Amino acid sequence: MSAKHFTPLVASLPSTVPFVGPEAQERARGKTFRARIGANENVFGPSPKAVAAMQEAVAQTWMYADPENHDLKSALAAYHAVAPENIVVGEGIDGLLGYVARMFVEPGVKVVTSLGAYPTFNFHVAGYGGELVTVPYRDDRENPDALIDMAKRTGARLIYISNPDNPMGTWWGAEAISEMIANVPDGSLLVLDEAYGEFAPESVVPPLDVSNPNVLRFRTFSKARGMAGARIGYAMGEAELIKGFDKIRNHFGVNRIAQIGALASLSDEAYLAEVISNVSAARDRITAIAEASGLSALPSASNFVAVDCGKDGDFARAVLGALIDQDIFVRMPGVAPQDRCIRVGAGLPADLDAFEEAFPKALARG
Amino acid sequence: MSAKHFTPLVASLPSTVPFVGPEAQERARGKTFRARIGANENVFGPSPKAVAAMQEAVAQTWMYADPENHDLKSALAAYHAVAPENIVVGEGIDGLLGYVARMFVEPGVKVVTSLGAYPTFNFHVAGYGGELVTVPYRDDRENPDALIDMAKRTGARLIYISNPDNPMGTWWGAEAISEMIANVPDGSLLVLDEAYGEFAPESVVPPLDVSNPNVLRFRTFSKARGMAGARIGYAMGEAELIKGFDKIRNHFGVNRIAQIGALASLSDEAYLAEVISNVSAARDRITAIAEASGLSALPSASNFVAVDCGKDGDFARAVLGALIDQDIFVRMPGVAPQDRCIRVGAGLPADLDAFEEAFPKALARG
């Protein structure tokens, strides 16, 4: 036996990491970053209630977590006013996107997404042999009409959109997304990634309708709830769709400490509001820093800001490199013309102090 | 779109949980268990060093974990005297078995395991359309020769064995397993699940040879390291095989607190020795409790003991039910003649006090 006995599909896939982590960059550089504002993490961290609950839960690590995620699902159901049958909890949105790909994608199946949208979704689709069909951004936003049209034209089984969008931070209002949901063609499922939903104004997130079998909505504790390292997210949708996850999921895949922390986090809306306000202030400051260099930043409904470096992708890549050389961890969009921007996370004041100091130098070097 | 658009393979799978968790049983019963000794968890818990490291790590939960698991892999490489390229870290052995199934199994592929062996492995194989071929236990042990013969006869791509075995706790010595590895036919891969390896005498675990592409060895922090709820395990093998995991794994799937706890755990061999000694004493006590009722227990190299209830499966199931009615959580093998036994975990003294008190009553009722 050897690697040559992989299934033909798996053999055809590259060995890859969709994102190189900041730790790998630090190892390659031989020094740490002074500002970690590149992975859309929430530097304000989890609720103190969640921290306390997790610290207490550490002593219980000898126990597997409840594979049905019962308590957390019940709390989420109450929070969102849906039934527990409409919720699946999993190992972050990444893990859940992998399950969705497995449920719906096989060789020959087409999947529509935006060119330059979330690479991990693409990784999972390719991993099950799906054929990705992409639609360009328009005015730095994903293009719901074009995504739907392309799905109709190609008979795509999945359509991916993130709202607010990653990597641009742009968004559509609830009405536009509701219209998109209404227009999902028969035979397609809309994968609506709302990882950044809590950062957006209320008018951005359309009402939940879990009777609609044409959409799955993905949420996470990684962003506004500050628990990226805990690996816990959830999807909401029609009960029969949700039941599909039980056919394939790693039932004992969720960390017990994460489960308990997530549950505690849900009970601290005051802290969530504080985080959202801190993130909003940080976005404003990033915009001001861009403007101080005569540049502009895109409006953002997420916890990061796309700063338009004012020239082309090569220039922005050079600016990014010069920031990294100054120990500022940031990332940037991969596709033109969005790659004229760098993506700067809503850091702590000290993080943004460092960015403010480094950015003009990076522009000068770029 | 709807559930009817699942891939034909996924549509054919049942919505299931391979194991019903004790929490679900507690909810159904409306009361908690007084002894949780049914899920092969390690009641002695993680090393105090791991607990301290995890408690400190809680504050870092806002950061994703290093997707390359670099620090932990380096430590494991040193611990096992192999290269980091020979190790993949993942979301528990369950998660890694799912990846192995995905890497090697597609519809029509045959996989050999023992009848009554680990259900979660079977769940993953079935989940990728594999055809399970089973071999009976012999004298309550998995049967390496028969497994190899069946693999040769059927052209199986995977062969599963756990050593020490779950659910019986029995084992083969290192020589028998080395011989089994040597006899793996071309085109087959031996999935050697050593989740309970640390509890066994040293003579049970054969030396590592990561140049051999015919075997992958699975280890976990869930058992002797007391971190089942952390969801972190690893596999060791030939570098090209290990690289295959990078084609498909959920790169950000490992919890950051788990990573840090696992690393700390590796540095506390004194505590590990203490746990192993506690487990050994608990096994002896379970055996003594069985003997006090005129029964016998199987020798075990794991952290649980199969107690032979002396009659058939129906009787043992009744005994199990009577234990559960007395708030003792235990499980049992599912297949005859192993189902004449119940499987009792190496509990704390208080857990085993409760078992000792309840067991004779359960036998009387059974």
| Of the listed ranges A4-8, A84-88, A93-97, A135-139, the one predicted with least confidence | A4-8
Is the confidence at residue A366, as pLDDT, over 90? no
pLDDT in tens, A77-134: 999 999 999 999 999 999 999 999 999 999 999 999 999 999 999 999 999 999 999 9
Write the CA distances from A355 to A281, A296, A303, A331, A365, integer angstroms. 15, 15, 16, 13, 15
- Say what the pLDDT of residue A20 is: 87
Tokens of B293: 């009722």
Q: Is the dihedral of CA B298, B355, A68, A275 positive or negative?
A: negative
- Say what the pLDDT of residue A239 is: 97
Q: Which residue among B45, B106, B250 places its CB closest to the CB of A98?
A: B250
Mean pLDDT, rounded, for A156-169: 98
pLDDT in tens, B147-178: 999 999 999 999 999 999 999 999 999 999 99
Q: Which residue of A has its CA nearest to B259?
A: A229
pLDDT in tens, B234-279: 999 999 999 999 999 999 999 999 999 999 999 999 999 999 999 9
pLDDT in tens, A328-357: 999 999 999 999 999 999 999 999 999 999
Residues of A in contact with B54 (CB under 8 A): 58, 61, 257
Residues of A in contact with B55 (CB under 8 A): 55, 58
pLDDT tier at A18 (50, 70, 90 boundaries)? confident
pLDDT in tens, A183-200: 999 999 999 999 999 999
- Say what the pLDDT of residue A19 is: 78
pLDDT in tens, B44-96: 999 999 999 999 999 999 999 999 999 999 999 999 999 999 999 999 999 99
| pLDDT above 70 coverage of chain B, percent | 99
Tokens of B152: 């040769």
pLDDT in tens, B188-222: 999 999 999 999 998 999 999 999 999 999 999 99
Helix ranges (DSSP H) in chain A: 8-12, 22-29, 48-57, 70-80, 92-104, 119-127, 144-154, 174-182, 239-248, 256-266, 269-292, 313-325, 349-365
Q: In chain A, what are the domain boundaries?
A: 3-45+270-365, 48-266
A335 vs chain B: nearest CA distance in angstroms? Answer: 22
- Say what the pLDDT of residue B4 is: 63
Amino acid identity, residue A136?
Answer: P
- Say what the pLDDT of residue A295 is: 98
CATH of domain A48-266: 3.40.640.10
Spatial contact of A345 and A223, defined as CB atoms under 8 Å apart:
no
ipTM: 0.96
How does the average pLDDT of chain A come out, rounded? 96
Burial of B295 (0-12, 13-18, 19+ CB in 10 A): middle
Q: Which of the following CATH numbers is that of domain B3-45+270-365: 3.90.1150.10, 3.30.1330.10, 3.40.430.10, 3.40.50.300?
A: 3.90.1150.10
Q: How many CB pairs lie under 8 A apart between chains A and B?
A: 285
pLDDT in tens, B322-349: 999 999 999 999 999 999 999 999 999 9
A11 vs chain B: nearest CA distance in angstroms? Answer: 8
For helices A48-57 and A256-266, angle between their N-to-C axes, nearest 10 degrees: 150
The conformational region for residue B294 under phi > 0 = left, psi -120 to 50 = alpha, else beta, is: left
Q: Which residue of A has its CA nearest to B106?
A: A7
A364 vs chain B: nearest CA distance in angstroms? Answer: 31
Chain A interface, mutation test: which of B58, B60, B100, B238, most A Cβ atoms within 10 Å?
B58
Is the confidence at residue B18, as pLDDT, over 60? yes
Is the confidence at residue A1, as pLDDT, over 70? no
- Say what the pLDDT of residue A15 is: 85
